[in-house]
Structure 1
Amino acid sequence: MSTTTRVRRYELDHLRVLSTLGVILLHTGAIVVVAERNSLPDFASAFNVGNLADSAGRFAVNCFFMTSGALLLDPVRRFVLRPQFLRVALPTLTWIVVYAIANIVLNDRGWRGVGGTLRDPLSLDPAELVRALLGGPAVYHLWFVYGLLGIYLTVPLWRALTDRPEPQRRHLLLLFLGLWAVADLVPRWGTFLLGDRFPVIYPMPLSAFPAGYVGLFVLGFVLSHYRDRIKVAPAAWVVVGAAGLTWTFVATWLAARAGDPDVFAAYDNLNPPVLLFSVAVFAFFAGRERGPGPAWPLVSRFSELSFRIYLVHALVLHTLRVATDLGTLVDDQPALGVPLIFVATVVISTVIAWVLDLVPALRRWA
């Protein structure tokens, strides 16, 4: 028997909170990882302080895609494309403007802007500005939103599958996931594991369809909807998740230690280490009931604010990095600086998101 429900999925609230913290953690760790990538680091090194934080947060983006699929593809939940699309697109546009203005101010004060195609808006002519906005991401972390909005446009297609009666629905979904594995994951994993020794089995465009995060979107629905059929003990998911995290950390460290130019291959969201890690985390939460409600009202509230926190956190983190002593502390003492700037970013981003949500006129646009 499959499991779907019309009520709030409180276990996904917990996952959304954890994923939001994970994204901030990986972006915090990336400060050190990028700075130390060419240092040929030993195990006990500044690089691995950042690598540990970055690796520990890598499950988050995949879990966001899978959580969206679990909810939006649920046949008992109503989906209307326009309001769902605008609910994400409008605040994203607002924050793109905010980031552009913030980067102008930062550049004027001699600090670099937040990474992305709008790092230095005043240096772009009108045509370059349009290309920067459309080609993006305008800010580095917004690639996720670009991808999510693209997937939203395909949701009516996937709803045509999930609205089917059983067993036809299950067969079609398994067929799609099989195509995703063959067309996308096999060549990706083969290249990651074997490098140039992995043969090119088929040329483009077959290898690009069905591609990437659409597969995660559908996988999230399958793992959630058929959780009663998937007989895996929670402890087993913990073991798989720990293995994926360890693999991500060790593979990245060894690549940096060897001076590998592709040092961040293990960080790729669809390569084996991160995919195992994120699927295990998602299945652990989505595959079991978490009781009648969240442990604390704060969990539900943080979950509701998670997208706004996601949008603002990159600006908060970057400003703390370039304009406060925390940035210097991260550079000089990463074992102390990384946790402190992470906590500061979480707190400040949450407060900003909470305050904006208290203003009814801003809820739709920010």
Structure 2
Amino acid sequence: MTEHGKIYCFEWARVLGALAIVALHSMRVTELAPGLAAAHARLFGVEAVLQIPLARWAVPAFLMVSGALLLDPGREMPPRKIGRHVWRMAFVLLTVGLAFCLMEQVADVRAQTGATTLTWGMFGRALLNLLEGNSWDHLWYVYALIGLYLLTPFIRGFQARATRRQFGLAVVLAWALLCLVPLANLVLNVNLYQFVDLSGAVVYYMLGRYAYEYLELDWRIVLAGVASLALCCLSAGLGLRSAAGAEVAGAVALPQYGLVMPFSLMVFLAFKRFANRPQRERGIAAGLARDSFGIYLFHPLFGHLAIWFTNYGAIPVPALQLGIFVVGVLGSVAITRLLRLLPGFRDKI
């Protein structure tokens, strides 16, 4: 524990997880930039494999940290406290999320007319997109957190009545459904048994509590994690596609598909075992831990700006990705700390 009651291994998970996600999106935004993927197919093929061990554990680890904390039986979670958590995420969506939706509206108009304008009608369309979840892709995590907070009393109620074995079986069953149903839908291009479909966020949330309380990093966890990583990397390396021609490779490593879960669990338990080391309160790591949520929220902005407003085709791709990574981290920290000077944002990011 830190002197403020924070758990060291979770702080390190936040720091390295935030940096891993910025690295992942630095690769993804350049891969999606017009013309770059075709011109550098081999490079992006290698990066499709590398990004799995580098970064695909990060969001699952964030969800497991949340579950380990909020499902702790020793931590009181009255409705008022849950309401504060929900309001925090809703506030983020209504401010940061709405701003991103507005940026999309402006970008669409700019692409069609060449003019950069902002009208009241754009606000209405942006708000509708936000309510429908049609914002920037990475904000799915914020929407998911709202759902997890609302489900927390029910999960805690089940947990309080269940034995260790029952709680573990519930996690395993949820993981099996997460592996089989969405993956079958993806590969076969069907909607197979949607009534048993399950959010990956819920599974990781429950797994985080179970793993932190009952599991340790041992040879079985390592073996399962390595096998999971190998399967995900193999699918990426082979460039597997679904029956409809959609790419399967990257998708199987996403949190909503369960194949990457054993690897993510291995990383989570590695933090628990090896990262219980203090961070200097005024050090870089502690600062990045405090800013990790803001880094997650704001870093895609800098990748989009680099693609929108630079002659990215004239820059070597690795240099472009490194630049987006560095500016993304530093810029996100700067925005986060500036927003905290505003009363409404002070305790939200």
Runs of at least 5 residues in structure 1 that lack an aligned partner in the other structure: 1-5, 113-119
AA matched with 2:334: V
Letter in 2 for 1:336: A
Change (3 A) 1:96 1:75: same
Distance 2:119 2:253 in 1: 29
Between the aligned partners of 2:284 and 2:273, the Cα distance in structure 1 is 22
CA distance in 1, matches of 2:292, 2:130: 24
SS of equivalent residue, structure 2 residue 135: coil
The 2-side partners of 1:256 and 1:203 are apart by 23
Correspondence for 2:211 among 223, 237, 251: 223
Aligned pair count reads: 334
| Letter matched to residue 253 of structure 1 | G
What is the one-letter code of the residue matched to 1:15?
A
How far has the Cα of 1:130 moved from its partner? 5.2
- Aligned partner of 1:307 in structure 2 is 293
Q: Write the letter of the residue equivalent to 2:136.
A: V
Root-mean-square deviation (CA), in Å? Answer: 3.7
Flag the 1:222–1:121 CA change in 2: closer, same or farther, 3 A.
farther
Partner in structure 1 of residue 201 of structure 2 = 213
Identity of matched residues, %: 25
Instruction: Give 1:187 shift.
Output: 3.4
Write out per-residue CA displacement over residues 285-310 of structure 1, whole angstroms, 9 at most, x where no aligned residue: 1345613x226632222112211221
Q: Does 2:201 align with 1:203?
A: no
Aligned partner of 2:177 among 164, 183, 190: 183
2:148 corresponds to 1:151? yes
- TM-score of the superposition, structure 2-length normalised? 0.80
| Cα deviation code 1:295-341 (max 9, x no counterpart) | 6632222112211221111222211221134x335xx5222221221
Distance 1:328 1:38, change over 3 A: closer
1:59-208 equivalences in 2 (<5 Å): 59-79=57-77, 80-104=81-105, 106=107, 110=111, 126=124, 129=126, 131-164=128-161, 168-188=162-182, 195-196=187-188, 203-205=193-195, 207-208=196-197
Q: CA deviation at 1:182?
A: 4.0
Go from structure 1 to structure 2 and tell me whether the alpha carbon gap of 1:272 and 1:180 turns closer, same or farther (over 3 Å shift). Answer: closer
TM-score (norm 1): 0.76
Offset at 1:121?
Answer: 8.6
Using a 3 Å threshold, how does the CA distance of structure 1 residues 183 and 105 change in structure 2: closer, same or farther?
A: closer
1:93: how far off? 1.4
Aligned pair in 2 of structure 1 residues 339, 37: CA closer, same or farther (>3 Å)? closer
Deviates more, 1:340-349 or 1:258-267: 258-267
Cα shift at 1:99? 1.9
**Unmatched segments (≥5 aa) in structure 2:** none
Alignment of 1:6-45 (within 5 A): 7-34=5-32, 39=38, 45=42
Q: Measure the CA separation in 2 of the matches of 1:270 and 1:27.
A: 18
Partner of 2:319: 336
- Distance in 1 of aligned mates of 2:184 and 2:241: 22
CA distance in 2, matches of 1:48, 1:309: 27
Task: Report whether the alignment pairs 1:355 with 2:338.
Answer: yes
Aligned equivalents of 1:97, 1:177: Cα separation in 2: 35
Give how far 1:346 is off: 1.1
Q: Distance in 1 between matches of 2:327 and 2:123?
A: 36
Quick check: 270-279 or 239-248, which moved more?
239-248
Matches of 1:107 and 1:189, distance apart in 2? 33
Residue 262 (1) aligns with residue 262 (2): no
Change (3 A) 1:33 1:276: farther
Alpha-carbon distance change, 103 to 208 in structure 1, aligned in 2, over 3 angstroms: closer
The 1-side partners of 2:90 and 2:100 are apart by: 15
Q: Structure 1 counterpart of 2:345, which letter?
A: L
| Aligned partners of 1:25 and 1:57 also within 8 Å | yes
Aligned counterparts of 2:168 and 2:130: Cα–Cα separation in 1: 36
Q: 1:62, 1:32 → 2: CA distance? A: 23
Amino acid aligned to 1:179? L
Aligned with residue 304 of structure 2, among 293, 315, 318 = 318
For residues 134 and 93 of structure 1, do their structure 2 counterparts lie closer, same or farther at Cα, with a shift above 3 Å needed? same
Mapping for residues 243-282 of structure 1, pairs under 5 Å: 244-255=228-239, 261-263=246-248, 264-271=250-257, 273-282=259-268
Relative distance call for 1:169 and 1:300 in structure 2 (3 A) is farther
1:265 CA displacement: 3.3
C-alpha distance in structure 1 between counterparts of 2:152 and 2:47, whole Å: 36
Deviation of 1:351 after TM superposition, in Å, equals: 1.8
